Structure 1
Amino acid sequence: MISSRIKLAGALLAVLTAAGCGSTKTPAAGPSTPISDPPAVQGPTMTGRQVDPPLRFDPAGLPLGTDDVLLHGALAFAGTWEGVAVTRLTDGSRAGLLKPSDGPPDEGDPGYHRPVLAGARVVTPYVVDDGGVLVVADAATGASLGTVEIDLPPVTDPSMSRLALVGAKGDVAVVLSGIPTGADPDTVETVAVNLATGKTLWTMPGLEAHAVLGTTIVGLTGADLTSVTGVRVTDGEPLWEKRSPLPPGIDPAGPKFAVVDGLETDDMRSVVAVVDAAGKFTELAIGADISVDTCHDDQQGVAACTGSRAGFGLDTSTGKLLWQLPAGGEPYPYLTAAWHGTVYGQADGKPFTLDARTGEDKGAEAGMAPAAVNAYGGVVENSFHPAIG
């Protein structure tokens, strides 16, 4: 999860300030490498076969150069150091390389470049020359839609800066920038930008955004980032706030809910809860002192959440608990991805697959636990492995 401990899977009240943090120019055609003939590929035979959901993967993988990968349709978007490498999953050929700038890669770039689907766009953050750049691509074709510049908060060590796309509503993207120290509001800032015009709509120092639920941003604010806060996407207007003695963690679990862990109750229990856009918190009966790292949306109504002694499924339309893995020995099963009714994970190095709605073991020999999945295959350790069954 992107949390106050911050993990930028990946990932909020100070004074609302006016626009001026990002570029006001309309994004021009961003620098990109023209689409060329497919390069020679060593590894799997890329047939373009689709299995939905895939339960077995080719042991041979197509190197992507990073594990910051988004699979969308027949394309893989990989946030490499040089730029966003777009690969066709049908034959393994390169569709393009979308660079954050015309110059060489910034040596001070901290290396976090996770592409995120934002409607019909794929947006990937980069740190360039002490500033921020969002590389924007067409989600269907991989073509460049330009770049958007974002200023980063002043820091003493630029190499520690991070830039992450939290989510989007329409043309408005919500970006978290700053240094992930864990509980210092002076090192984080949330920026809302219009991807169509490149204009910054508003900025809010001290707001550590984590999820976009419809028209509401959910994040952390306060002196030690201990308040779970909702603000409006369009203008940053505060909507609601819930205080906790210690900094909670927040992770999106589908389009309507976010999971909050480490939330202190009035009777001093540390619980896990779901919160909606209106600020309604509902405690999950999954035990105390559980930490959630991330939730994987299977895109068919279930979010599979995982972390320290945690493994459970949520209905993304109601926020209700569907199942929970039994507490027990070490190491605890870890869930790595979810796709179209199947949850992928591993325990003691052994991959497994679960039914997303029931949590029951599917008994399929996946052979690997992918970090990203779609009908074409999965991503494991920087490589794409085609679906074979």
Structure 2
Amino acid sequence: MVAAHMSATYTAVLTAREGEVLWEDPSFLPHGFDGHVVAGEAGGQEPPEGRAVTDGSTQWRLPDAPRDFTEWGPAEPVNGTEATDEAFFVIQAGMPREYDPRDPDFAERTLLLRVSDGEQILELGGPDSRSLPCSHDGQGTFVCQTPYGEEVIAYDDRSGEELWRLPDETAGRISLRVTAVRHGAVYGSTDNGALILDARTGQDRVTDLPLAPLDVGPGFGLVIAPTTAYVYLHPATG
């Protein structure tokens, strides 16, 4: 178990059963955890590195700045499923070292990295990439969206190939606000109601979903009531 206090950086790694402290570091800011390695930054100012869960020893460390970019920026974990053997995080990479400011596609980039070894899986670009939250469905697909759901993009988690994106003007399809991603399904809502998409194709799977869950587990979905902020557990029906 990894416990972190974000307002004043402090991280401790404990065993889940006994609560034994395996190691602690008041300067380490974690970004992701896969059961074996904790990825993060020392003091939030150093390059990302991976530390062993057992003793805090350094397993990998990235260069002082990302290749082809100016600096490492803020990072956040990629939402995942119950699988603990593979995890990812996204981190801002600053400006490209060589760029043309007149280029309409010019923007800072966000990189998606693997926790176990720090390997770059994807490079995400565009004007909203600085705050591009991503989720992994546990079956080979990353689903990323702009902060307010203006655009949703899915990628293969091995090749980095873009699988689909919404909105799709050619097909006459609008985007959605993604609320959860799990086991090949993308849950979300539009102004027309809640729905489920296929994570690999982006095609409609269920278009009459009564609620858009914020989290999905085996046989249930969690929903927060917008007026009361109460959390409700709903059983799955299929």
SS of equivalent to 1:303: strand
Residue 374, structure 1, aligned to residue 230, structure 2: no
Aligned pair partner of 2:160 in 304, 315, 319: 319
Whole-Å separation in 2 of the counterparts to 1:344 and 1:350: 11
Deviation of 1:151 after TM superposition, in Å, equals: 2.7
SS of equivalent to 2:132: strand
Match of 2:127 in 1: 289
- Equivalences for 1:1-389 in 2 at 5 Å? 123-127=1-5, 131-137=10-16, 143-144=17-18, 146-153=20-27, 163-168=29-34, 171-176=36-41, 185=45, 192-196=50-54, 199-202=55-58, 234-236=59-61, 238=63, 241-244=66-69, 252=78, 264=96, 266-268=99-101, 269-270=106-107, 288-291=126-129, 292-308=131-147, 309-326=150-167, 333-348=176-191, 350-381=193-224, 382-389=231-238
Root-mean-square deviation (Å): 4.2
Alpha-carbon distance change, 246 to 134 in structure 1, aligned in 2, over 3 angstroms: closer
Alpha-carbon distance change, 301 to 192 in structure 1, aligned in 2, over 3 angstroms: closer
Q: Scaled by the length of structure 1, what TM-score is found?
A: 0.43
Alpha-carbon distance change, 347 to 297 in structure 1, aligned in 2, over 3 angstroms: same
Alpha-carbon distance change, 371 to 313 in structure 1, aligned in 2, over 3 angstroms: same
Render the CA deviation track for 1:214-239: whole Å, top value 9, x for unaligned: xxxxxxxxxxxxxxxxxxxx153649
Alpha-carbon distance change, 235 to 312 in structure 1, aligned in 2, over 3 angstroms: closer
CA contact (8 A) 1:166 1:176 kept: no
Whole-Å separation in 2 of the counterparts to 1:310 and 1:386: 29
Match of 1:212 in 2: none
Whole-Å separation in 1 of the counterparts to 2:41 and 2:180: 23
Whole-Å separation in 1 of the counterparts to 2:100 and 2:88: 25
SS of equivalent to 1:357: coil
Whole-Å separation in 2 of the counterparts to 1:260 and 1:126: 18
Higher-RCO chain (CA-CA 8 Å, sequence separation at least 6): 1
The letter of the residue matching 2:100 is D
Structure 2 residue runs without a partner (length 5+): 81-85, 225-230
Whole-Å separation in 2 of the counterparts to 1:130 and 1:273: 23
Structure 1 residue runs without a partner (length 5+): 1-122, 138-142, 154-161, 180-184, 203-233
CA contact (8 A) 1:353 1:362 kept: yes
Whole-Å separation in 2 of the counterparts to 1:282 and 1:380: 32
Whole-Å separation in 2 of the counterparts to 1:131 and 1:283: 29
- Counting matched residue pairs gives 208
Render the CA deviation track for 1:230-289: whole Å, top value 9, x for unaligned: xxxx153649732546876666598598766775462231165766766587677xxx41
Alpha-carbon distance change, 134 to 299 in structure 1, aligned in 2, over 3 angstroms: same
Whole-Å separation in 1 of the counterparts to 2:124 and 2:31: 27
Deviation of 1:359 after TM superposition, in Å, equals: 0.7
Q: Percent of aligned pairs with the same residue?
A: 23
CA contact (8 A) 1:125 1:164 kept: no
CA contact (8 A) 1:299 1:340 kept: yes
The letter of the residue matching 1:335 is V
Whole-Å separation in 2 of the counterparts to 1:351 and 1:178: 41
Alpha-carbon distance change, 167 to 257 in structure 1, aligned in 2, over 3 angstroms: closer
Whole-Å separation in 2 of the counterparts to 1:303 and 1:164: 21
Deviation of 1:177 after TM superposition, in Å, equals: 6.3
The letter of the residue matching 1:132 is T
CA contact (8 A) 2:95 2:107 kept: yes
Larger Rg: 1
Whole-Å separation in 2 of the counterparts to 1:135 and 1:351: 39
Deviation of 1:317 after TM superposition, in Å, equals: 1.8
The letter of the residue matching 2:141 is V
